[in-house]
Amino acid sequence: MECRFSRKTDDQYLIWGYVPPRSGEIKQLLHWGPRQQQPTYITQNTHHYLAFKDFARKRITLKILNTTKQDSTRYFCQLTDHLVEHNRTDFCGCGTTLDVTA
């Protein structure tokens, strides 16, 4: 999954979030802090996700390794000047739905 941004990000947080099954709230999966090159993973399963930040192309990418049906949900990205780690509900847009069928 890819998320593009158009504004300066040096002093911003870049966040990937998801909606857990049977929940209406978005939970943070990982984030980059201001000027941080590597993401900080909130999830326990850090080997299941790979995240990349590309300043030159103004995008962040999320890859899910060895997907299962449990990964089927809606994923969101956000660019923000503050960080709240749990129960975010103010992500912009409608997100990207991943539907794993096999």
Query: Domain-by-domain residue ranges, the chain?
Result: 2-82
Give me the chain's average pLDDT, please.
83
**pLDDT above 60 (res 66):** yes
φ and ψ at residue 85, rounded to 5 degrees: -80, -20
| Residue 13 token pair | 């947080």
Class of domain 2-82: mainly beta
The whole-number pLDDT of residue 89 equals 52
For residues 83 and 94, give the distance between their C-alpha atoms in angstroms, rounded to a whole number. Answer: 20
pLDDT, greater one: 22 or 67: 67
pTM as predicted: 0.80
